[in-house]
Amino acid sequence: RSLIGIKKISEESVLAEDMGSRIMVFVRLRPLGKKEEESGARSCVRIDNKKDVYLTEYALEKDYLRLKRVRGRHFCFDASFPESTSQQEVYSTTTAELVEGVLQGRNGTVFCYGATGAGKTYTMLGTLDNPGVMVLAIKDLFSKIRQRSYDGNHSVLLSYLEVYNETVRDLLSPGRPLVLREDKQGIVAAGLTQYRAYSTDEVMQLLQQGNRNRTTEPTRMNETSSRSHAILQVVAQYQARDLDSVGTRVGKLSLIDLAGSERALATEQRTQRSIEGANINRSLLALSSCINALVEGKRHIPYRNSKLTQLLKDSLGGACNTVMVANISPSSLSFNETQNTLHWADRAKEMRNKASDANEEASHAPESETDQTKLLLELQMEN
């Protein structure tokens, strides 16, 4: 029996290697805004060869009138997108392969990480004229399904949810908070709307409406709270016509517009009193802890520490494809945030999903907060 076990694991690992199951990390630089330029900001980021990112730190000269270059740092990612990169190119490079995987029954996750204003929502949702990854992925999924519709029935189910202040809400049908339950398929949000989509046209409207349902800051009613995570789950089901053949196959793609990363550290640094601040940290910090554990090849991944990581349990690590897009602003006024984001992305780059390890998460003991605290301290030291 053990021999078979070993064989199975090594086959899985080979397969995982072949399919490139390590996390892919991309950086997207947004253009410098007019207002930023007017307020004296200059660009402190340069991207070369679609891979290399050069970050330059500037400081005011003694006369307070000019900026001088203090030092530079270099990073390298799977791909880095300069300001001029189109939405379609970002989609094709980062996510198209995952959409193919979902049709084969493999789960995948794409998340946008970065400070508020760095371009996460633009990358994920985009605008009517320039739709982002969420819409382009669904469009591509429909076109791939059309090409293969002869061999069976496909259906596409969409759910759009928000994690805000450790509360999960349905963005397609706003109402009471949803409860997370563990069942045979994994962790599910009880009562979550699954919208059966038939065409791309209806999807953009659906998602824009969903985005309007995201929690807003009480002080700025029209702006989405930077503490809210939005998760689009795209489930592709396939049912063979001939019941004797492959049967059914299900793949899930999670596309995530994460909360702004700037507060993850700033609020926690002050006090534990701000419950809201602490809670937003909880999901982002827990995600960091999970990625850290995966980077270090730990057997136990602390998914249970937050709502976000519980929801991602079947989609992060293991035989899943994971893509991270780190969004950055070029503005010299956002230097610290950009530097933090690039550090985080650099660390995530080291993660290799180990199919054999992650599939046998043995321990169900409640996780201690120690790992999270340690990580937080490390991050604070860096600042």
Stretch that binds ligand ADP, among 109-117, 181-189, 198-206, 277-285 (CB under 6 A): 109-117
Only one of the segments 16-24, 42-50, 116-124, 280-288 lies at the binding site for ligand ADP (rule: CB under 6 A); that segment is 116-124
Q: Which range, of 118-126, 228-236, 360-368, 373-381, touches Mg ion by CB under 5 A?
A: 118-126
Residue 302 binds which one of ligand ADP, Mg ion, none, with CB within 5 to 8 A depending on kind? none
Residue 281 interacts with, from ligand ADP, Mg ion, none (CB under 5-8 Å by kind): none
Asked if 22 interacts with ligand ADP (CB under 6 A), we say no
In this structure, are residues 105 and 250 in contact, taking their beta carbons and an 8 Å threshold? yes
Distance CA 151, CA 319 (A): 26
Residue 224 beta carbon to Mg ion: minimum distance, rounded to whole angstroms: 5
Give, as one character, the DSSP assignment of residue 48: E
CB 372 within 8 A of CB 285: yes
Size of the site for ligand ADP (CB under 6 A): 11
Q: Using the rule CB under 5 A, which residue among 93, 94, 107, 121 binds Mg ion?
A: 121
Considering only 21, 107, 116, 289, the residue that binds ligand ADP (CB under 6 A) is: 116
Q: How is residue 203 written in tokens?
A: 């999807």
Q: Which of 119, 39, 44, 42 shows the shortest CA–CA distance to 87?
A: 119
Q: Which does 117 bind (CB under 5 to 8 A by kind): Mg ion, ligand ADP, none?
A: ligand ADP
116 is in an annotated binding site: yes
Residue nearer to ligand ADP on the CB measure, 214 or 354: 214
Site string for ligand ADP, 24-63 (x = CB under 6 A): ------xx--------------------------------
* 330: partner contacted, choices ligand ADP, Mg ion, none (Cβ within 5-8 A by kind): none
List 26, 77, 122, 164, residue binding ligand ADP (CB under 6 A): 122
3-state secondary structure 337-350: HHHHHHHHHHHHCC
Which member of 117, 152, 277, 302 binds ligand ADP (CB under 6 A)? 117
Q: Does 114 bind ligand ADP (CB under 6 A)?
A: yes
Name residue, tokens 């899930």: 252
Q: Measured between alpha carbons, how far is 29 from 136 in angstroms, rounded to an integer?
A: 19
The pairing of beta strand 180-183 with beta strand 67-76: unpaired
Instruction: Tell me which of ligand ADP, Mg ion, none is bound by residue 122, counting a contact when its beta carbon lies within the kind-specific cut-off of 5 to 8 angstroms.
Output: ligand ADP
The CB-of-120 to Mg ion minimum distance in angstroms stands at: 5
Neighbours of 296 (CB within 10 A): 9
User: What tokens were used for 330?
Assistant: 């070029």
Ligand-binding annotation for 132, yes or no, is: no
Q: How far is the CB of 199 from ligand ADP (least distance, A)?
A: 25
Cα–Cα–Cα angle for 23, 231, 308, nearest 5°?
A: 75
DSSP string, 293-330: HHHTT-S---GGGSHHHHHTTTTSSTT-EEEEEEEE--
- Quote the CA–CA distance of 349 and 323 in Å, as a whole number: 10
- Which residues are CB-contacts of 137 (< 8 A; sequence separation ≥ 6)? 91, 95, 98, 99, 234, 253, 255
The single residue listed with the structure tokens 């976000």 is 308
Closest approach of ligand ADP to the CB of residue 351, in Å = 22
Cα-to-chain-centroid distance, residue 159? 16
Contact (CB, 8 A) for 375 and 34: no
> Rounded to 5 degrees, what angle do the CA atoms 289, 94, 256 make?
50
327 binds ligand ADP (CB under 6 A): yes
| Residue number, 122 or 344, with CB nearest to ligand ADP | 122
- Choices 41-49, 103-111, 120-128, 278-286 (CB under 6 A): range interacting with ligand ADP: 120-128
Residue ranges that bind Mg ion, judged by CB under 5 A? 121
Instruction: Please state the residue numbers annotated as binding site for ATP.
Output: 114-121
Instruction: Please state the residue numbers annotated as binding site.
Output: 114-121
Residue ranges that bind ligand ADP, judged by CB under 6 A? 30-31, 114, 116-122, 327
